[in-house]
Structure 1
Amino acid sequence: MTWTQVFTPVGGSLGISALVALIPILYFFWALAIKRMKGYMAGLTTLLMVILVAVLVYRMPAEIAIMSSVQGAVYGILPIGWIIISSVFLYKLTVKTGQFDIIRSSVLSITEDRRLQALLVAFSFGAFLEGAAGFGAPVAISAALLVGLGFHPLYAAGLCLIANTAPVAFGAIGIPIIAMEGPTGVPAMEISKMVGRQLPILSVFVPFYLIVIMSGFKKAVEVLPAILVSGISFSLTQYFTSNFMGPELPDILSALVSLVALTLFLKVWKPKTIFRFASEQAATAEVAAASQAIKNSKAPFTTGQIFKAWSPFLVLTAFISIWGIPTVKKALVGKYEGANLLFNCLNPIGKALSFTPEVPGLHNLIIDVNGKPIAALFKLEVLAAAGTAILLAAIVTKFIVSISWRDWLATFGETLNELKFPLLTIASVVGFAYVANASGMSTTLGMALAGTGMLFPFFSPFLGWLGVFITGSDTSSNLLFGNLQKVTATSVGMEPVLALAANTSGGVAGKMISPQSIAVACAAVGLAGKESDLFRFTVKHSLLLVVIIGIITYLQSNLLSWMVP
């Protein structure tokens, strides 16, 4: 039995239908921000709420609604949950073998200042991981690194989510922008150029904003030279690469330039005072001892020891970078067609480990507004998953740090046990996203925002923000709302490429409050059950940043139209 999507189920009224479609989202906000439920409870009850609205209001058959949630939950485990498991596992290996103590010392040798450590790890290193892997890995790994350096887990997770704003649009080798070309027909290069004329403005602002959140305005001004080096080097590279090279490399090159520029700058410039968190007073003796060790010896550890300690993350970087290359991706799913011997040998393995079975009770049973059935498949690409690349890095790390297989496996078991509730949270919130999309609720909300007329240039980024909040992915948001943005922009006299860029740029601000991003970040730093605290930490910053992007888009549509390519 098929079911046809309807976007105005309440008396044909878009306004009232949109208010009803908002109910599960408002409930989720209430559950986390006011009721302060544990993440998995908020996720499960929100999933139940969205299924009820889909069935009772949108008249979606219960079986189809439930199977949509199952499809989402499976995607929440693979690839998203798999990334978290392998990322946290790799981090725990470095801690268990004592290598992280050396990593901590090497970062302290560059700077003991928490503000500058946040710029190096959360902003620059996190952006590099976003460009190479995406899908939660950047926040998981960089937040775990900050915790290991001594940051409070909540601060580490929150700062990394906010820092991740700058690179998300070009994440995973430019996939969010490349994916938008298909449904809209606008060349990815043109969208890349426009995004590259919006986000660099934000990329200059984010490092300063990050430090203000950490330490206040006056303390941020103390390290303004370092902030400017970090932000300007990143934004200039981001502009140049996005406008002249395409959407694939802006994150990776911008992050590398920023990381190197700031590290070199800190060799010749130091802040007048060293900033640490007030909560670190209890650890004063440890900090003093570490500082004294650095003063007594310019190299507390040898270059070889430092290189060995960082090797797991260097190997990780190599693997996820290779996994992100389009040709390699094809071989990893068994779809490579070419003369390369290595890829031809990899092809059958990738094909054997890639499964795309139909979702029972859902495949081709939903009919879209054009009368076409919507395919529903479980996309289980085991070898091609970024989490598998990270696991391979963990296997290589086993030999680097000389840990026994018994302890290696025991650590993996500990990781799985620690992440059981975060994985449940991720599965439930992604299930919620899939039901919202399949039922048409997301489109109802998008159509309501698109009806804002001449103010649409301001509200256009909010559409992307909403899409990423619901789906947890800038790519998914672009696929969901890209064509709607283009059609609406044309009808109100706005440049379509500007609307498409606004969807992408607005989406980056929604990433930090997306339920799955919150769950991923909490899982990485050991805050399972504290998702409400992290949500309350990030939500105000998310709203501020999307308003800024809305203002930029409005100005570019009117007063600054010369910025549109």
Structure 2
Amino acid sequence: MIPMMLVKFLLAMLPIIWLIVALSRLKMPSHTACLSALAITAVLALAIWKLSPVNTAAAALEGSLNALWPICLVIVAALFTYNLTLKTGAMEQIKKMLAGISNDKRVLTLIIGWGFGNFMEGMAGFGTAVAIPASMLAGIGMNPINAVVACLVVNSTPTAFGSVGVPTTVLSTVTDLEHITMAGYIALIQCILTFISPFIMVYIIGGGKKAFKGMLPMLLTASLSFTLPWFFVARYLGPELPDIIGSICSILCMIAASRIFKTDSDKEYLIETSGQGDLKNQKSSSAAKVSITPKEGVKAWAPFILIFILLTLTSTICPPINNLIKPIKSSFLIYPGEGGKPLAFSWINTPGVMIFISAFIGGIIQGAGIADIIGVFCGTLKKYWKTIVTICAVLAIAKIMTYSGMIKDIAEMLVKATGPVYPFVSPLIGVLGAFITGSGTSTCVLFGELQKETAQQLGLNVYWITAANVFGAGIGKMVCPQGIAIGTGAVNEVGSESKVLGAVFKYFIFYALLAGVICLAGSFIFKI
């Protein structure tokens, strides 16, 4: 029995192993690697797991449709928003405004990547927390690969409360565990990595520990101003608001701190703006730094302000509007086999639609004509079709592996092999799910009940172990192909996926191992 379990485990791992080899060793383009992995997955499902051809095709179709709506919708909307700000010149205005806050790359990285990125994760999720901040960081002159890596790393812990708490809410639903209690355990298990994430981000952008020089007050401000409200909101209010309230507090505190604490910058950490030269030569004149009026500033930020307003008004924070538009959806049964459930398409109450509306209105405010907006949209689709193909292929792989039983065989082998040290492995199962699906929510659906049942069998705290699942899911998103594709697409580095994977991998290993140690220590040392 054990040998057969091992054989099936190894066979089920083949698509994952192939993706790792294809991306990191063979340097294949992401869309090619994922399409070939899809073919391998389909063959295995047909030949070994005896999934019928009809069900295999249906599973792939369901995954692709789920990828297109809402995931690719959000990604295209985010990229369209950014490209439109380039077209209207708003991004250059934003760069000037940011230079008015600070001319230090490290400070701007914290404000945009940490503060604004966490806000986007809390409000929208689905890749926006990587796509928009990374594109903004690259747009103000930072190394695009480092920008993507930094955003992928710090997007790990906010995942649990992303999209107004959807992953945690889903986890509570599938495990039948109380959602506020669950949110408190998730905040507890993630608080250490959440606190150190701004330090890691500056380390990445600044090229090592030398980047910490003169930055300790800003780093502590960034960490504490997010982590403290984030923790207490999760503990006492539940999963919907931690990322949102934490990020708003953090952004305001960091802007204030940048006025109080002067960082010790040299040329290496100064940004440049088009036609204005080195900002080091502009310190003597605040007018040289910021030459735009408040009205122009609001105009430049209009799409992002509208994104905040619309996502807030249509979220569960505003029940009257949310309840009005939430029922506007369609459901279709795509997969006819065992375990198949209707696939729901929310036509209005989805982040991508709100982002598109915000971008369109924001573009009009910024002076773009209808022809300009349509042109930018078509150009975005043309430029990023490979990213769309990659994401569709990955979700198709995930659905085939789930319906065929491949995912279950992988997880069960890990449980059997680990026994007493299962708490260390528990977040790693979440890592696996997110690597395949690219989604914290999907990972909770895949493995939530498995984690709960295993915890009960081993006499462990079910809240702690199930919290480890979504903890690991956030970490796994660092290296999932679709997440990397989102990042490279956002910074105009399509084809550089292998570079990003190589750069982010060491941080992924560090986070994954530390997550395992935290979960193990919590179970057996602190008796949580």
TM-score by length of 2: 0.95
* Counterpart among 294, 311, 315 of residue 320 in structure 1: 311
Give distance in 1, aligned partners of 2:221 and 2:367: 39
* Counterpart among 248, 262, 265 of residue 257 in structure 2: 265
Equivalent pairs counted in the alignment come to 524
- Evaluate the alpha carbon distance shift between residue 204 and residue 31 of structure 1 in structure 2; reply closer, same or farther with a 3 A threshold: same
> Deviation digits for residues 378-415 of structure 1, max 9, x if unmatched?
43322222111011101211321111111111111111
1:449 aligns with 2:414: yes
What letter is aligned with 1:202?
A: L
1:142 aligns with 2:117: no
Alignment partner, residue 517 of structure 1: 483
In 2, are the aligned partners of 1:112 and 1:274 still within 8 Å (CA)? no
Give distance in 2, aligned partners of 1:538 and 1:41: 21
Alignment partner, residue 94 of structure 1: 85
Give distance in 1, aligned partners of 2:281 and 2:345: 46
- Evaluate the alpha carbon distance shift between residue 38 and residue 231 of structure 1 in structure 2; reply closer, same or farther with a 3 A threshold: same
- Evaluate the alpha carbon distance shift between residue 289 and residue 211 of structure 1 in structure 2; reply closer, same or farther with a 3 A threshold: closer
Quote the offset at 1:525 in angstroms: 1.6
In 2, are the aligned partners of 1:84 and 1:523 still within 8 Å (CA)? no
Give distance in 1, aligned partners of 2:243 and 2:272: 36
> Deviation digits for residues 410-438 of structure 1, max 9, x if unmatched?
11111111111111111111111111111
In 2, are the aligned partners of 1:68 and 1:438 still within 8 Å (CA)? yes
Alignment partner, residue 52 of structure 1: 43
Quote the offset at 1:315 in angstroms: 0.7
In 1, are the aligned partners of 2:121 and 2:128 still within 8 Å (CA)? yes
Alignment partner, residue 4 of structure 1: none
Give distance in 1, aligned partners of 2:275 and 2:295: 29
1:331 aligns with 2:337: no
* Counterpart among 147, 162, 173 of residue 153 in structure 2: 162
* Counterpart among 526, 532, 536 of residue 502 in structure 2: 536
What letter is aligned with 2:239?
A: P
- Evaluate the alpha carbon distance shift between residue 276 and residue 80 of structure 1 in structure 2; reply closer, same or farther with a 3 A threshold: farther
Give distance in 2, aligned partners of 1:204 and 1:221: 19
Quote the offset at 1:292 in angstroms: 5.9
1:357 aligns with 2:322: no
* Counterpart among 375, 397, 401 of residue 436 in structure 1: 401
Quote the offset at 1:294 in angstroms: 5.1
In 2, are the aligned partners of 1:133 and 1:321 still within 8 Å (CA)? no
> Deviation digits for residues 322-368 of structure 1, max 9, x if unmatched?
2332744443242xxxxxxxxxxxxxxx2xxx322222xx32x23xx
* Counterpart among 440, 446, 450 of residue 484 in structure 1: 450
Give distance in 1, aligned partners of 2:290 and 2:272: 26
> Deviation digits for residues 487-538 of structure 1, max 9, x if unmatched?
1112222111110111111111101111221122122222222222222222
What letter is aligned with 1:453?
A: G
Quote the offset at 1:281 in angstroms: 9.7
Give distance in 1, aligned partners of 2:364 and 2:275: 35
Quote the offset at 1:252 in angstroms: 0.4
RMSD over aligned Cα, in angstroms? 2.1
What letter is aligned with 1:251?
A: D
Give distance in 1, aligned partners of 2:285 and 2:343: 52
> Deviation digits for residues 43-97 of structure 1, max 9, x if unmatched?
1001111111111111111221122111111111111111111111111111111
3-state SS of 2:157 partner:
coil
- Evaluate the alpha carbon distance shift between residue 284 and residue 104 of structure 1 in structure 2; reply closer, same or farther with a 3 A threshold: closer
In 1, are the aligned partners of 2:272 and 2:278 still within 8 Å (CA)? no
Give 5+ residue unaligned stretches, structure 2.
Answer: none
In 2, are the aligned partners of 1:114 and 1:275 still within 8 Å (CA)? no
In 1, are the aligned partners of 2:168 and 2:183 still within 8 Å (CA)? yes
3-state SS of 2:262 partner:
coil
In 2, are the aligned partners of 1:422 and 1:523 still within 8 Å (CA)? yes
Alignment partner, residue 3 of structure 1: none
Alignment partner, residue 515 of structure 2: 549
Counterparts of residues 413-432 of structure 1 (less than 5 Å): 413-432=378-397
Quote the offset at 1:303 in angstroms: 1.7
Quote the offset at 1:218 in angstroms: 2.4
3-state SS of 1:147 partner:
helix
Give distance in 2, aligned partners of 1:449 and 1:161: 26
Alignment partner, residue 347 of structure 1: none
* Counterpart among 65, 69, 75 of residue 74 in structure 1: 65
* Farther-moved stretch of structure 1 (51-60 vs 532-541): 532-541
Give 5+ residue unaligned stretches, structure 1.
Answer: 1-7, 335-349, 367-373
Alignment partner, residue 355 of structure 2: 390
TM-score by length of 1: 0.89
3-state SS of 1:276 partner:
helix
Alignment partner, residue 341 of structure 1: none
Counterparts of residues 230-309 of structure 1 (less than 5 Å): 230-274=222-266, 276=268, 286-288=277-279, 291=282, 295-297=286-288, 299-309=290-300
Quote the offset at 1:23 in angstroms: 0.6
Quote the offset at 1:320 in angstroms: 2.0
- Evaluate the alpha carbon distance shift between residue 455 and residue 526 of structure 1 in structure 2; reply closer, same or farther with a 3 A threshold: same
> Deviation digits for residues 521-564 of structure 1, max 9, x if unmatched?
12222222222222222222112101111111111111112xx3
